[in-house]
Structure 1
Amino acid sequence: MLKPAIDRRLIIACNHLPIRVKRGTSGWEFEWDDDALVAQAKEGIPNDPPLDILFVGSLPVDIDPDDQDMIAADLKRLYRCCPVYLDHDLKEKYYKGFCKQQLWPLFHYILPVSPSSCGRFNADLWQAYVRANKIVEESASDSDFVWIHDYHLLVLPSLLRKRFNRIRAGVFLHCPFPSSEIFRTFPKREELLRSLLNADLIGFHTFDYARHFLSCCSRMLGLEHETSRGSITLDYYGRTVGIKIMPTGVNPQRYLDGFAWNEFKWRRGLGTAEVTNPPRSTGREVLELHRAVAALVEAINTKYAKPSAKYLPVHYLERHVPLHERMAFYSVADCAVVTATRDGMNLVPYEYV
């Protein structure tokens, strides 16, 4: 029986490809990252009729220009991933500079309080952000569906719409969307709002985040939304833009399977497992917080540890914790405490329950 031809392509555009990378004895080694959120998003996409899914994003390492074409071909063949290569300076300004020092604080209600604070607008970093989005945009064609993930690619919808007027695109924000009082402090607020409106569908975690976005559109662009039978839409230059509230869940079967793994043994008397993923951003505030947490853990363990009983009250894990190890923690824990000041896409509560 002949397989049906695949004539539709979905591009999942993200900052980092769902690929793990390490340096081996004979060069770079790659493997699929099942824990990556964009990888899990693929599981909910219907495949009838067949759909060609291509991930487009950057790699966490710098690849030598002489190896880039070969690695790109291998990743596309093995994992349906198309890497975009940003030079080191551009990557630093785009990701560590603009994304982490300006957009992330803005979306999490952290405003600069002094000239040395992170979050103060920098035109050079903004230009780097636009250039990086432009490089991602070059991978699309006018017949594609494009699913854009998170705040790293917020100007991508405008770039796509300018190049392909009829392209179909959606955006899903993994993070909160701030109130208009906060968002209006950002100098490029209108550019970001108009770019989001150049998508066909915009997804938010909660109604509050969607409401903040709609309020920004009303107060800054003079655009009012309409509601009908539970749907929320905006008219933008003759196009209907849908607004959806789409709280993210987890794949139940995947997590049930995780509890069957028994390769870990735990010390008797485990008190608290403090899991702290390494920060993706840098800066004075990050270093100060790191030192403060480490000092607090050391103080607690120094005071309450019982070496004779091999008891340590706080096990401080400052590293990425893969799914199977998290499953082991969840299976023995009496409670899970999530301490984010303002949460974005955090699946720990779903996993633990």
Structure 2
Amino acid sequence: MARLVVVSNRVSVPKSGTRAGGLEVAVLAALKRNPGIWFGWSGRLSTNVLATREIKGDPVSYVLTDLPKEAYDEFYYGFANRVLWPILHYRLDLAEFSRQDLSGYTKINEHFADELHDILKPDDIVWVHDYHFLLLAKALRERGHTNRIGFFLHTPFPPVEIITGLPHHERIISALCHYDLVGFQTETDARNFARYVENECRYPGDRRSGYMTGERTVRIGDFPVGVEVDSFNKMARRAIRSSFVEGVLQSLSGRAMIIGVDRLDYSKGIENRLAAFEQFLGTYPEWRDNVTFLQITPKSRSEIPEYKQMEMNVSATVGRVNGMYGEASWTPIRYVNRAHTRTALSGLYRAARAALVTPLRDGMNLVAKEFVAAQDADDPGVLILSRFAGAAVECKPALLVNPYDNEAVAAAIHRALTMPLEERKARHNALYDIISKNDINEWPIRFLSALTGTATMDGAAEASSKPGSGTRQPRRLSVGNL
């Protein structure tokens, strides 16, 4: 039986404390069905000997490689997060390109290819994740590997007019055509890449049949990531009775709670969100001292100057709002920079009257789906969701907002807090049904069946792009026996 080899920058190794963020749930869902290897960085940087070690497990083994420090800094803090990340999020103005960082990015992709070269078997199926490894398939092909190799981008993919602003895009983006299948979160992202292939690479073909590169046919599809809906709901039902959540609720003294949970990143629109909440307090004074906004924001990429500046800006905004509207007995905004467990968050989601999920641009945003999954169906909270999040494609029964429009977001907050129970229940039931039919366990089935040829791209695209139709399984499905 062929193995599934998953490749990502970070790897979540059990009992090690190493986490891979939102990627973890998705990857483990795939590896539960398809025993194999999760390959990635060990978390160790070295200036001398680079070691690679394997942690055997059943059904998942972990192969971890050390990385050279200088090249990793150029790869991760440089090219990946100061060039690719902003451009993929439509922020050409924030990209800071240097040839040295591109060199480091290339070196790390080559190093991963070297290490994979030693462990890959001819019938292995390779699934590469995210913008860190745009060049990896090309490097593996150059080493003679003809395996099925799929790629999934968890971020957005911008239009041709933006992505071509990336220096050397013709070398970097076109390298994705060495994959057999390139997957995206939304139809818009997939369509943007297809347009790039047609306009810049000029390969013949189309989205339906794929694009012929001369060596292979590269196919493009949208495969929106989901969450484990029922188990997350059960977790939330238990967590709301925990001493932690009960303590938070007691401290609110009966006030309504709005929640936001995001990494500290400019793509999340946290500064805009805080300004909108400030607008809400100014426009609807009856809610002063009656609602608290809890914003949980673990720090991210603090080594990058733009992130340090953003941290200062957010803290200043929180201080201004609390200073203007707060009372000795009430703090309008609780701003927390510490990460919380998914269990704790599930309980907080369930306790919240509303969630503010308002990124300026996001590939998917699983907080939106987790908030819906966590709710009490008899008394649900309301999801306020940016129309620029990938989740908005499916979650249309949410209150969709433009995160740049403070007045509109403030009005949505007021509407959420005053929404009649029957409307809240109707919206929640519709949302819960949608995310249940695109459960995380269905996601790897759709992607891997498209990659291995057990489903047509028409079937995969139809199943993944229609809200409420995500559980449709392609014909001749045999992903469990790759």
* TM-score, normalization by structure 1: 0.83
Shift of 1:64: 9.3
- Which of 125, 149, 169 is residue 189 of structure 1 equivalent to? 169
Equivalent pair of 2:152/2:184 in contact (CA under 8 Å):
yes
Equivalent pair of 1:160/1:167 in contact (CA under 8 Å):
no
**Distance 1:130-1:174 versus aligned 2 partners, 3 A rule:** same
Q: Which amino acid aligns with 1:138?
A: D
Q: Which residue of 2 aligns with 1:26?
A: none
Shift of 1:340: 1.5
State how far apart, in whole Å, the 1-side matches of 2:144 and 2:24 are: 24
Shift of 1:101: 0.4
Residue range with higher mean Cα deviation, 128-137 or 59-68: 59-68
Shift of 1:12: 0.8
State how far apart, in whole Å, the 1-side matches of 2:131 and 2:322 are: 38
State how far apart, in whole Å, the 2-side matches of 1:240 and 1:38 are: 29
Q: Which residue of 1 aligns with 2:8?
A: 14
State how far apart, in whole Å, the 2-side matches of 1:232 and 1:107 are: 26
Shift of 1:277: 2.8
**Distance 1:36-1:63 versus aligned 2 partners, 3 A rule:** farther
The Cα offsets for residues 93-147 of structure 1, whole Å up to 9 and x where unpaired, read as: 11001100011111111123xxxxx523211111110111111112322422110
Aligned residues, how many? 323
Any idea what SS the aligned residue of 2:161 has?
Answer: helix
- Which of 15, 21, 27 is residue 41 of structure 1 equivalent to? 27
Residue range with higher mean Cα deviation, 167-176 or 262-271: 262-271
Residue range with higher mean Cα deviation, 60-69 or 37-46: 60-69
Q: Which amino acid aligns with 1:336?
A: A
Q: Which amino acid aligns with 2:216?
A: R
In the alignment, is residue 104 of structure 1 matched against residue 85 of structure 2? yes
In the alignment, is residue 258 of structure 1 matched against residue 235 of structure 2? yes
| Richer in helix (by share) | 2
Q: Which residue of 2 aligns with 1:24?
A: none
- Which of 340, 345, 349 is residue 330 of structure 1 equivalent to? 349
- Which of 78, 83, 90 is residue 64 of structure 2 equivalent to? 83
Equivalent pair of 2:130/2:151 in contact (CA under 8 Å):
yes
Any idea what SS the aligned residue of 2:226 has?
Answer: coil
State how far apart, in whole Å, the 1-side matches of 2:136 and 2:20 are: 26
In the alignment, is residue 153 of structure 1 matched against residue 133 of structure 2? yes
The Cα offsets for residues 303-332 of structure 1, whole Å up to 9 and x where unpaired, read as: 33333x4x3221111132321121122111
Q: Which residue of 2 aligns with 1:59?
A: 42
The Cα offsets for residues 179-236 of structure 1, whole Å up to 9 and x where unpaired, read as: 1111112222122233211111110111111111111111111124325xxx451111
State how far apart, in whole Å, the 1-side matches of 2:371 and 2:199 are: 40
State how far apart, in whole Å, the 2-side matches of 1:161 and 1:34 are: 27
Q: Which residue of 1 aligns with 2:214?
A: 237
- Which of 99, 106, 109 is residue 123 of structure 1 equivalent to? 99
Equivalent pair of 1:157/1:195 in contact (CA under 8 Å):
yes
- Which of 245, 249, 255 is residue 226 of structure 2 equivalent to? 249
State how far apart, in whole Å, the 2-side matches of 1:150 and 1:220 are: 21
Equivalent pair of 1:17/1:56 in contact (CA under 8 Å):
yes
**Distance 1:281-1:104 versus aligned 2 partners, 3 A rule:** farther
Q: Which residue of 2 aligns with 1:95?
A: 76
Equivalent pair of 2:301/2:307 in contact (CA under 8 Å):
no
- Which of 186, 198, 217 is residue 206 of structure 1 equivalent to? 186
Q: Which residue of 2 aligns with 1:274?
A: 295
**Distance 1:192-1:64 versus aligned 2 partners, 3 A rule:** closer
For structure 1, the residue ranges without an aligned partner over 5 or more in a row are 1-6, 21-28, 113-117
* TM-score, normalization by structure 2: 0.62
Shift of 1:249: 0.6
**Distance 1:31-1:121 versus aligned 2 partners, 3 A rule:** closer
Any idea what SS the aligned residue of 1:253 has?
Answer: helix
Any idea what SS the aligned residue of 1:16 has?
Answer: coil
State how far apart, in whole Å, the 2-side matches of 1:39 and 1:63 are: 29
**Distance 1:45-1:76 versus aligned 2 partners, 3 A rule:** closer
Q: Which residue of 2 aligns with 1:172?
A: 152
**Distance 1:107-1:258 versus aligned 2 partners, 3 A rule:** same
Any idea what SS the aligned residue of 2:360 has?
Answer: coil
Equivalent pair of 2:74/2:104 in contact (CA under 8 Å):
yes
- Which of 348, 361, 368 is residue 349 of structure 1 equivalent to? 368
Shift of 1:65: 6.9
- Which of 274, 283, 300 is residue 321 of structure 2 equivalent to? 300
State how far apart, in whole Å, the 1-side matches of 2:130 and 2:310 are: 25
Shift of 1:352: 1.0
Equivalent pair of 2:82/2:97 in contact (CA under 8 Å):
no
Any idea what SS the aligned residue of 1:86 has?
Answer: strand
Shift of 1:45: 5.2
Q: Which amino acid aligns with 1:135?
A: H
Equivalent pair of 1:150/1:171 in contact (CA under 8 Å):
yes
Equivalent pair of 1:147/1:169 in contact (CA under 8 Å):
yes
Equivalent pair of 2:232/2:346 in contact (CA under 8 Å):
yes
Shift of 1:11: 1.3
**Distance 1:274-1:289 versus aligned 2 partners, 3 A rule:** same
The Cα offsets for residues 266-301 of structure 1, whole Å up to 9 and x where unpaired, read as: 112350111213122643322221111101112222
Higher RCO (C-alpha 8 Å, min separation 6): 2
Q: Which residue of 1 aligns with 2:450?
A: none
Q: Which amino acid aligns with 1:166?
A: T
Identity among equivalent positions (%) equals: 27
Q: Which amino acid aligns with 1:11?
A: V
